[in-house]
Amino acid sequence: MASSIIQRIGAATSFDTNNNYFHRRSFSGRQSSFVVVRSDGANITTRLKPNGGRTHHLVTNAVATKPHTSAASKPGHEILLFDALREGLEEEMDRDPRVCIMGEDVGHYGGSYKVTKGLAPKYGDLRVLDTPIAENAFTGMGIGAAMTGLRPIIEGMNMGFLLLAFNQISNNCGMLHYTSGGQFKIPVVIRGPGGVGRQLGAEHSQRLESYFQSIPGIQMVACSTPYNAKGLMKAAIRSDNPVILFEHVLLYNLKETIPDEEYVLNLEEAEMVRPGQHVTILTYSRMRYHVMQAAKTLVNKGYDPEVIDIRSLKPFDLHTIGNSVKKTHRVLIVEECMRTGGIGASLTAAINENFHDYLDAPIVCLSSQDVPTPYAGTLEEWTVVQPPQIVAAVEQLCQ
């Protein structure tokens, strides 16, 4: 079982049959302070002990932070999500003079969702650049600037507009590091609000994570709370890879208390929202809140769901997800993407390939309907997954 999974992973890199080349590549010349974890989700500590007594255990937060529980030493401050994003932006712009923002109405207007409010007066027009409506060209400009070492943050006023820049994102952003043999890095962050809003119409309610997920070379993350929004924003800016940060139109006014001190989250890590025993519910972005609402009903009915906000859409955090699957043996994916070719579809495939033996039931994936989002309020409600559907799905799964 576990070995077969290792085989499979090894098989994917079977060119080098002597050693798992991950190890060889990663161990060469490194300090001893790290660990290689394969995505068979095996318990880290038990795996490590045979390795010559290395006792490093995995800290799943890449940067040590204080846990955001009530045991915090400092009080923290209450903040709305768009403000948390802005805080993250400001801190990174203070820290590194190469960070700059470009997008439509990000400067003088302050951003269509106020994410960049106040930054242009502080940093100047060149660092917070108001672009004309030319997504293809200014995304290309951002990528070209990144090739020389700047760290631009490109905002799509709505994620759907970035479809116009698909060529730049796919070919130039994702592939330049590879086709140049590693000469150029593209440390851009492409961000913007997406998702189904309140009757915004079909073209302004797009979920682009499914379109971008195949592009090699990019990373995708979706934020859902002020805490992870700020942490992911900072991590994305500091990352040398191109990162697409998906925000959601309806989540900008969420309020939460976040720590005062600086923290950076891990881009590739999922968040355990609610530990449980009966079923693993994987979700991201706005659907997290629908799931938590359904979870309340489920708990009242006697179920114990484990809710994981996957956050990292590319690559998936199969370590956390795998551990959860091994515990609960049932998976429900709740996403806002379309059913066809969505994130859920890839996640289903990934879990099936890697954790098939641990599943007691087929994976259920609840996604939005494969329709353009209608304007009428009732119809729009039916396109996305609603809490009663989640409850029904869990009940069926746990029979």
Asked if 28 is part of the footprint of other proteins (rule: CB under 8 A), the reply reads no
Q: 52 - beta bridge partners? A: none
334 binds other proteins (CB under 8 A): no
Rounded (5°) CA angle 80-81-83? 70
Q: Pick one of 79, 84, 89, 143: the residue that binds other proteins (CB under 8 A).
A: 143
User: Tokens for 185?
Assistant: 């890095």
Q: How many amino acids of this chain bind other proteins (CB under 8 A)?
A: 84
Considering only 29, 50, 132, 302, the residue that binds other proteins (CB under 8 A) is 132
Closest alpha carbon to 395 in 300, 266, 288: 300
191 binds other proteins (CB under 8 A): no
Q: Which of 118, 216, 275, 377 is in the footprint of other proteins by CB under 8 A?
A: 216
Is residue 246 part of the contact set for other proteins (CB under 8 A)? no
> Between residues 184 and 289, which has the closer beta carbon with respect to other proteins?
184
Q: Tell me if 123 contacts other proteins by CB under 8 A.
A: no
Among 3, 18, 148, 378, binds other proteins (CB under 8 A): 148
318 lies in the site for other proteins, by CB under 8 A: yes
Rule CB under 8 A: say whether 2 interacts with other proteins: no
> Which one of 54-62, 104-112, 279-287, 367-375 is the stretch in contact with other proteins (CB under 8 A)?
54-62
Question: Measured between alpha carbons, how far is 90 from 80 in angstroms, rounded to an integer?
Answer: 15
Nearest approach, Cβ of residue 308 and other proteins (Å): 15
Q: What are phi and psi of 326, to 5 degrees?
A: -65, -25
Nearer to other proteins, 39 or 373 (CB): 39
335 binds other proteins (CB under 8 A): no
> If binding is defined by CB under 8 A, does position 42 make contact with other proteins?
no
Chain centroid, CA 88 distance in Å: 16
* Token representation of residue 96: 């590194």
Q: DSSP for 101-152, please give it.
A: EEETT-SSS--TTSTTTTHHHHH-TTTEEEP-S-HHHHHHHHHHHHHTT-EE
Instruction: List the one residue from 268, 306, 335, 380 that touches other proteins (CB under 8 A).
Output: 268
Is 26 a residue that touches other proteins (CB under 8 A)? yes
Catalytic amino acids? 135, 204
Q: Are 310 and 221 in contact (CB under 8 A)?
A: no
The mark string for 71-110 relative to other proteins (x by CB under 8 A, - otherwise) is -----------------------------x----------
Q: Is 357 among the residues that bind other proteins (CB under 8 A)?
A: no
Single residue of 42, 47, 54, 63 touching other proteins by CB under 8 A: 63
Q: How far is the CB of 80 from other proteins (least distance, A)?
A: 26
Q: Which of 2, 59, 299, 392 binds other proteins (CB under 8 A)?
A: 59
C-beta closer to other proteins: residue 129 or 251: 129
Burial class of residue 242 (count of CB atoms within 10 Å of its CB; 0-12, 13-18, 19+): buried
Chain residues 160-189 in contact with other proteins, contact rule CB under 8 A: 167-168, 171-172, 176-185, 187
Asked if 316 interacts with other proteins (CB under 8 A), we say yes
Question: What are 221's strand-pairing partners?
Answer: 245, 312
Q: Concatenated DSSP letters for 32-86?
A: SS-----TT---HHHHHTTTTT------SSSS----SSTT-SS--EEEEHHHHHH
DSSP alpha helix (H) spans, the chain:
2-12, 21-27, 44-48, 81-95, 119-123, 135-147, 166-167, 174-179, 209-212, 226-238, 287-300, 318-328, 343-355, 377-383, 387-397
